[in-house]
Amino acid sequence: MDKQTTNVNELEAAKQLNIMNELKVRFDQEVEKTGKQKTYHIETFGCQMNSRDSEKISGILKQIGYVETDTEDADFVLYNTCTVRENANNRVYGRLGYLGKLKKSHPGMIIALCGCMMQEATVVEKIKTSYRFVDIIFGTHNIFKLAELLQTRLDSDRTVIDLWKNTEFIVENLPNDRKYSFKAGVNIMFGCNNFCSYCIVPYVRGRERSRNPQDILEEIKAMADDGVVEIMLLGQNVNSYGKNLETPMSFAGLLNEIGKIDKIERIRFMTSHPKDLSDELIEVMKDNDKICRHLHLPLQSGSTRVLQIMNRRYTKESYLALVDRIRSAIPDISLTTDIIVGFPGETEEDFAETMDVVKKVGFDSAFTFIYSKRTGTPAATMENQVEETVAMERFDRLLKEIQSGSAKAAGRDEHTVQKVLVEEINSQNPELLTGRLSNNLLVHFPGDKSLIGKIVDVDLQESKGFYYMGSLVK
Ligand code: 5AD
Ligand code: SF4
């Protein structure tokens, strides 16, 4: 990003902070008159990018003077939507119907929609005609403008719609409301340039843009000073980080820099594209034990023929070879993946190739999806769409294979002592704490809540398949 763009971004941040202050004064006066706090509620659908965006939205709303509530019977309700598969859209429409009724009994309620679904023109048309009670619609590129959009809405009685197709803007230093005090997500890049033929993300999240390393490092240092010990670096394809920066920098280089921040004890990242995963990254992971022993490496399909039509730009063989390289450098790594079944034209032979890769790799776990047609993507108009019953049957077989692989993989660390980040009091038994291993598995063990946020040694006494039961090593 050049100097001029940086200045524009700073001006924009200042402008938005100013609007937040204006609204705060206005809200404080109203609260004084009515004696009632204004409340907000956010529902987040979809991936970790959306969760991170919701923290930013929450930060803006708190700055304005709203307080969070866990019901949708709130003064400001926002749905941060996902559109990666059709059922994500349907869930939003279903809940919107309910919200419309709730609004009738809640005078002054403001309903806002944002996120990936809003970047689709047909969705916005449908909301304008069928869900006219919606007050504010914005997309994935202009979250930083929320205060301004809210001010516009309060000063008029029309729906405020602000959607950007794409942007160069990365506005830094706006308020932020982290869900956990000890771990945090950090965006390192936005958008995606890969155009996998089934995927809507490049259309709704725009072109790939990397944040400046200085901005990322400053953000992480400030978080570390604030008590954060674990960070999750977020991007659609973190392995291509930095390629479009004025002074290019590799993802592995960025990891090295982050590793130097003393108080950061754990670094995670998501998602890696197999085609861009470099040997340099494997080396850095091997040498730096702050980097967690977990790699999410979406396979999507095990058939080279299907991978080519998916535009994934790797083959079955090159994926398996990559897994070998990773495992021989970092033997205790946990590998997880995403797989789609029923991609257009997928034959029984293609599916058998997917099953073969799953057997050979033995993933620790996997997210499996039935292909969902996304209008506007190349795959949506491909011939030979697979019958739903066929896809479902393959899905069931795949799930069984994945489960048997993860049962084998789990338990690998039974009877060893591992470092664990204590995250919370166990939701079912308040005598227990729940913590996370470097490889992302959970362990439950007796302990005091004062340990939450600390990294402790835990003896993994018993594997329960997807988690462990353990005891604290003093
Ligand atoms: N249908 C099914 N699954 C999809 N994904 C992305 N697009 C689709 C689609 N059209 C899956 C991919 C991706 C994950 C986030 O969602 O597996 O890795
Ligand atoms: Fe979608 Fe492919 Fe980009 Fe991932 S890499 S967001 S699957 S287009």
CA distance linking residue 61 with residue 49, whole number of Å: 19
Best mutation site among 198, 201, 296 for ligand 2, i.e. most ligand atoms within 8 A of its Cβ? 201
Average pLDDT, the chain: 95
pLDDT digits (tens, 9 = 90+) for 391-432: 999 999 999 999 999 888 888 899 999 999 999 999 999 999
* Res. 370: pLDDT tops 70: yes
Tell me which ligand sits closest to the C-alpha of residue 370: 1
Predicted local distance difference test score (pLDDT) of residue 3: 57
CA distance linking residue 258 with residue 220, whole number of Å: 8
CA nearest neighbour of 444 among 454, 464, 455: 464
pLDDT digits (tens, 9 = 90+) for 16-41: 999 999 999 999 999 999 999 999 99
Of all atoms in ligand 1, which is nearest to the CA of residue 367? Answer: 17
CA nearest neighbour of 141 among 195, 207, 70: 207
Taking the centre of ligand 2 as the mean of its atom positions, its distance from the CA of residue 333, in whole angstroms, is 23
CA distance linking residue 343 with residue 267, whole number of Å: 34
Predicted local distance difference test score (pLDDT) of residue 208: 94
Q: Is 379 in the pocket of ligand 2 (CB under 6 A)?
A: no
CA distance linking residue 133 with residue 152, whole number of Å: 16
Taking the centre of ligand 2 as the mean of its atom positions, its distance from the CA of residue 202, in whole angstroms, is 7
Closest-CA residue, ligand 1 atom 16, reads 84
Q: What would the mean pLDDT of 271-275 be, rounded to a whole number?
A: 96
pLDDT digits (tens, 9 = 90+) for 42-79: 999 999 999 999 999 999 999 999 999 999 999 999 99
* Res. 5: pLDDT tops 70: no
Of all atoms in ligand 2, which is nearest to the CA of residue 199? Answer: 1
Q: What would the mean pLDDT of 340-352 be, rounded to a whole number?
A: 98
Predicted local distance difference test score (pLDDT) of residue 142: 93
Q: Is 196 in the pocket of ligand 2 (CB under 6 A)?
A: yes
Q: Indicate if the alpha-carbon torsion angle 135, 137, 138, 139 is positive or negative.
A: positive
CA distance linking residue 220 with residue 230, whole number of Å: 10
Cβ contact 407:385 at 8 Å? no
pLDDT digits (tens, 9 = 90+) for 449-473: 999 999 999 999 999 988 999 999 9
Closest-CA residue, ligand 1 atom 6, reads 199
Go through 334-359 and write b for each residue having 16 or more CB atoms within 10 A of its CB, e for each that does not.
Answer: bbbbebbbbbbbbeeebbebbbebbe
Cα torsion through 370, 375, 377, 381, rounded to 10: 90
Q: Is 194 in the pocket of ligand 1 (CB under 6 A)?
A: no
Predicted local distance difference test score (pLDDT) of residue 8: 75
